[in-house]
Structure 1
């Protein structure tokens, strides 16, 4: 696209093609300034409507949140790509956002399993990192990435078991234990990375990527197909984890007992629920789920293990859990939001966005700060979270 003279004549071009599809949606251009002004008007109208609903104490509908979110993103992309020779790759942007969200979603699910039963899981960062390490080492040693996929949740479960041991048996402050475990795993994996893995990379740390699995017919749907149905088995396991946890937490005996233990452990004990046993097993299960998410950094992305690969994703997963109000569906949306913000910076950097790259790199962490600060709405943690229980 050739840049035109004049602000009102500049256009932004969008591209949706990404691999093989049933039919190709051609690239399309929109007038940049006019589109931004129209979307700004829609956003202002939505803000006024939301303010009126808040004043009348009415519940804000989900569609209003969607309109504001999608409208802002489209307006921002239109402004960023105005007059550029590069196109905005819509499908690639969404596919990358989902990929970056995978460890965050697994980490958020891990936090929900643990904290709904009353255990604060600050050790998600260490569980992700140890899962990535175990997946890379086992997959490389046996030249079988699917064995690495089995090793990752075992490694995460071991970290969860340590957390449960100190938090339940010895009633040590759970936040302190989580921080110590994160430091322990970081030091342990760094030591092995600098010695064993570095000395014989081909044996212990070779790349063993999981293969892409295309769902017939569904993977050919334009835009949606390549994003959701042309993925590794790890992404499909993530879909299953969210759906199963959402059902089990609110529609099963296990979920009822888990929530009872996290909200009122004494009442749960009086009806025959073993509170501490439930907390131990949930913490181990949560660690295994986080460890499975850690496998994304290595075999899920086709990379060898690197020092501190988790890079703070465990703490962003905690923020996604809080933003999602300890609900799997809400945490999924929050994690995808963080993943999208990270990939948005990458895409805008490639097309030459006028926004400084430093600000783009800060974007997901700024969102994390706002989420933890509670500016997105009032949230309430499980009542007995972090409180040891003595029978």
Structure 2
């Protein structure tokens, strides 16, 4: 069957309902199309209610939220920031924005997130050199909670503040507590491929009201309280618009159902793909973890199958099915070639062996069967 005979199955496309239009129509009718307005305030309240965070500032992207979060933690030129290597580049780019240097940490094989043992190794080594990192960024990759208890225990032992990158993990929990609320600062992304989208956008959450106010100040060009435009600090144009916040408000009403569907998609793939030799689904939930399963991923074990992820990806393309390699570790990226890394083999192996499958919450079971059938063609059980 030719690929053009099918509609394309994308990895994680936006999934809108009709709720979003209610907020957009109201904003247009009331002429609230300026950067701020009732939808923006309401969206921030919605996020606080859902996560239990004390304060939320909605921003133009998750990257902007990481940038301002690191600035809140005092990161500046010459500082070092610990960061997992196995993540999207947006996690680490803001370190460079601030003139700081990343120090990369390997993953562990269960959750694919930052390894507590390698983290301790890095902190011990840096301490011997009288170097104290300014912050730690921890990431919940593909919506999977990291081993939070162990990671936070190490960070607190060494007195390192934590920025929690939950960009992919809205709706995930650890020991019943929503992700994004464990660090000194939490960050979410509402990019078009996320489980909740505002087209483009992000948010920073914190329990400190003074920090939330500071982020709002920086995000609106750091305008001083004066009748004219006066600026004493460096600011940014980082605020989310009232219109896009309206989309977010409608999406928030649907979020529990979206998480439920993504978890069902993972379970369906697991049931139908687990019998294929050399193929394993991941990552795995840690004890106490509950993932939103933003993306379902697989690994192909070379000792058990001759099929490579790239061969499978190209085969799925012949069926008009999008798939994508797992993140290329940041310590292997030319941009960060000079950055130190502790470990690196686990995340490198995951990159070499892994692939993300279509996981959008609008997928039908016939869509899922189409993916499974295509995989079985190249790697039959």
**Normalised by the shorter chain, which TM-score bucket?**
under 0.3
Between structure 1 and structure 2, the one with the greater Rg is: 1
TM-score (norm 2): 0.24
TM-score (norm 1): 0.23
